Chains A and B, each alone.
Chain A
Amino acid sequence: MSVAIVTERLSKQYRIGELQSTYGTLRDSLTAAARRLARRDHGVHYEEIWALRDVSFEVQEGEVLGVIGRNGAGKSTLLKILTRITTPTSGRAEIRGRVGSLLEVGTGFHPELTGRENVLLNGSVLGMKRREIQRKFAEIVEFSGVEQFIDTPVKRYSSGMSVRLAFAVAAHLEPEILLVDEVLAVGDAEFQRRCLGRMEDLSESGRTVVFVSHQMQAVAQLCDRVILLQKGSAVLDGPSSDVVAHYLQTVGGSSSVRAWADLETAPGDDLVRLRAARVVDENGDTVDAADVRYPVGIEIAFTVLRSGGASLFPKIKLYDMRRNVVFNAMDTSPRWRRPAAPGEYVSTAWIPGNLLNEGLMSVDVSVCSIGAPKLHPHAGSNDAVSFHVQDLGEGDSAKGSFTGQLQGVVRPLLEWTIEER
């Protein structure tokens, strides 16, 4: 068996500034430069983080490798390097074979162009030769099921149609190595299902697959081997069931409590530090699973270290299993309009009953201030806690007596009015 991918001490360093502000204006840079001059501070000081550090592995031809880890562990950075979208800071990798990635589905589609024109364009973008596209054209169109509209501009397509067409092109790329980032793959559940299906097909036909995912079930099912990334480093590499089990038991499992014992190392800056976060029910008890019908609280404990800082307030961000952001919420009460006095605070955000859909929710907690145009996080922990939302099926939730799954990010219980005419 031969090797499809080798990486040797692959590393990627980002400057924090680059990650936070996607682009600046010339004025910002000039004023920053002027400020540095005024302080006689000639060196450029950026806070630097290693998104990926010394990651080495080999993937055999035909192997299905899973990459798991918490948010920000470096999974997406790894894929971006392997697809050559970004370059590593150090280290090297070698890829043997044609690479395809489902990241690219629909990339370069232009709404003004017809379906036919977009197939040609998208094919080229994905690296197909003209002859190859021409040869596969009929097949692609048939696969997409939009034959009648192939000469209609894509802007008149429904979103489902354009996804089908885009997917048809990607599916005919016939890569020898497929890179899939489920986290980044946009699209609805149907689309993600197609992606997974395509991945299974390819791996069954002996192609090499690298699969980045948050869905442990899918990883355990599809992958032969899994690498666990933590803060940019590969901390575990082994058979998928072992690595997934380890991950669930430690860092990534459903944990409704999290505490930082040591104030020094707790997330935060010189103004505020996180102490703990937990998921509570109405009685204040820690819960792993919440009944969809009743409110559930996210409790954040933090310590304000000094007075006179920015006006702080606690904030939470909820993700569902598919990494959709369910919502962001912050405490807007007037008490946070002034800088808080030093001391310990415990703040609880109450999520009303009959709002969330069923499934595993993951929560980022942070203490922020307003730094226009964005929020400035002073202390934050991504995926700090998580909990399951359950429907016990007693008939008084938004599902009524239906027992299947309802699609959607939220699942509110609405008030319906009816008139008979």
Chain B
Amino acid sequence: MADTELEVRDGVPAHETERSQRAQRIDRVTVIKPAPRWPHLDLRELWHYRELLARLAWRDIAVRYKQTSIGVAWAILQPFLTMVVFTFVFGRFANFPSKDVPYPIFVYSALLPWTYFASSVALASSSLVSNRGLVTKVYFPRILLPLAGVTVPIVDFVLALSVLFGMMVWFSTWPSLAIFLAPLFLAMALIAALGVALFLSAVNVRYRDVPYAIPFLMQIWLYLSGVVYAISALPERWQWLLALNPMTTVISGFQWGVLGTAPPELGKSLVGVAATAVFVVVGLWYFRRSEPRFADTI
């Protein structure tokens, strides 16, 4: 008897029938249990909450462009001005190697994926704490918050791309066919950022030091990612070490596409992919393990 009760009930309100069977089943019976010892990612549940993810990302974008007075311009100004500064400091004075392309476009094409990565990590790491009200009052998979955090800066990235195209025309550089692979490299940056942010956002719930550490971390990380110089100009063994940093593969892969420079080496790219996988697995594991306590400690 109990089993049939789970499935159907008499007098289901009219609005219920419109919803899909699948959604209904999730809505219908909720089982509440202690947090599992070995956390896993519930993909079915994530799929169920996809609309909320879109809504949260949309909110962050809308709020961002409403709150700032020059809104959209920030997305372009930030990498552009950084490019100008870096060109003078590292291109002119220090004469850093730039894969035989004009230094400004070299550094700008590296800054785009880098800025995406750095803002994703920053935004997603604070996502739990800045949505404290939601976390303490409503249930939803908490992972939606960092996930929305790494989606939002894609908008900035796309806006800043327009300047890159302008520079490509100005410097008459041509993309290679590998430009079609660029989304893949960007996806790698997204996954790496998500991995880092999952870990840091969970840490931030307990220790509010994280927002202070991130700018510092990102500053160091920038110099280890081949943004201001070409990694390929370093001694071989250093290149292998830096291959552990997924952003080196992302940046040289992106430049391969848009500037037609040499592709990232396969071996080193695989190291980068493996490192990305480790980031996301460790981040996810730590996040899921801390998740049951978020509402109690935040």
Which B residues from 21 to 49 make CB contacts under 8 A with A?
Answer: 23, 27-35
Kindly provide the distance from the CB of A74 to the nearest chain B CB, expressed in whole angstroms: 14
Residues on A with C-beta less than 8 A from B295 are 80, 85-86
Cross-chain contact of B52 among A86, A96, A124 (Cβ < 8 A) = A124
A87 touches B23 (CB 8 A): no
B9 touches A95 (CB 8 A): no
The verdict on A355 contacting chain B, using a C-beta distance below 8 Å, is no
**Interface majority SS (helix, strand, loop, mixed), chain A:** mixed
Please provide the chain B residues from 1 to 23 with a CB less than 8 Å away from any CB of chain A in the complex: 5-6, 9, 13, 15, 18-19, 23
Q: In the bound complex, do residue A87 and residue B51 qualify as a contact, i.e. CB atoms below 8 Å apart?
A: no
Q: Is B140 at the interface (CB under 8 A from chain A)?
A: yes
With both beta carbons as reference points, the residue of chain A lying nearest to B294 in the complex is identified as: A86
CB neighbours of B138 from chain A (8 A): 83, 85, 104, 107-108, 125-126
Q: Considering the chains assembled together, what is the distance between the CA atoms of A29 and B209 in angstroms?
A: 12
From known contacts A95-B32, A112-B67, A124-B55, infer whether A85 and B15 are also in contact, taking CB-CB under 8 Å: no
What are the residues of chain B within 8 A of A112 when measuring CB–CB? 62-63, 66-67
- Nearest opposing residue in chain B for A130, CB measure: B51
A121 and B61 alpha carbons, distance in the complex (Å): 13
Q: Is the CB of B207 within 8 A of A23?
A: yes
Q: Which residues of B contact A81 (CB under 8 A)?
A: 32
User: A24-B206, A113-B63 are contacts. A99–B30 as well, Cβ < 8 Å?
Assistant: yes
Interface size for chain A: under 10, 10 to 19, 20 to 34, or 35 or more residues?
A: 35 or more
Proximity string of chain A (65-107) to chain B, C-beta cutoff 8 Å, 1 when within and 0 when not: 0000000000000001111111111111111111100011001
- Does A14 have its Cβ within 8 Å of any Cβ on chain B? yes
A98 to B23, CA, bound (A): 11
Contact A108 B207 (CB under 8 A): no
Q: Is the CB of A96 within 8 A of B5?
A: yes
Q: Type the 1/0 row for B110-142, where 1 means its CB is closer than 8 Å to any CB of A.
A: 000000000000000000000101111111100
Q: Does A25 contact B (CB under 8 A)?
A: yes
Instruction: Looking at the assembled complex, report how far the CB atom of A334 sits from the nearest CB atom of chain B, in whole angstroms.
Output: 37
Residue from the list A18, A97, A110 in contact with B59, Cβ < 8 A = A110
- Residues of B in contact with A, size category: 35 or more
Is B297 part of the contact surface with A, judged by Cβ < 8 Å?
yes
Distance in Å from the Cβ of A305 to the closest Cβ of chain B? 33
Given known A-B contacts A84-B30, A120-B55, A174 and B15 have beta carbons under 8 A apart: yes
Partner pick for B29 among A86, A96, A117, A126, CB 8 A cutoff: A96
Query: B298: CB under 8 A from chain A?
Result: yes
Rounded to whole angstroms, the CA-CA distance of A124 and B138 in the bound complex is 11
A2 at the interface (CB under 8 A from B): yes
- Is there a chain B Cβ closer than 8 Å to A129's Cβ? yes
Task: Tell whether, in the assembled complex, residue A87 and residue B137 are in contact, meaning their CB atoms are under 8 Å apart.
Answer: no
Q: Is A132 an interface residue (CB 8 A)?
A: yes
The residue among A14, A82, A87, A93 with the most chain B CB atoms within 10 A of its own CB is A87
By beta carbon, the residue of chain B nearest A206 is: B11
Q: Across the interface, do B32 and A82 meet the contact criterion of CB distance under 8 Å?
A: yes
Residues of A within 8 A of B182 (CB): none
For residue B191, CB closer than 8 A to chain A, the reply is no
Q: Which residues of B contact A (CB under 8 A)?
A: 5-6, 9, 13, 15, 18-19, 23, 27-35, 51-52, 55-56, 59, 62-63, 66-67, 131, 133-140, 205-209, 292-293, 295-298
- What are 9 A-B pairs at a CB distance below 8 A? A22-B298, A80-B295, A83-B138, A85-B136, A85-B139, A94-B29, A96-B6, A121-B59, A125-B140
The 4 closest A-B pairs by CB, nearest first: A84-B139, A93-B32, A124-B55, A87-B292
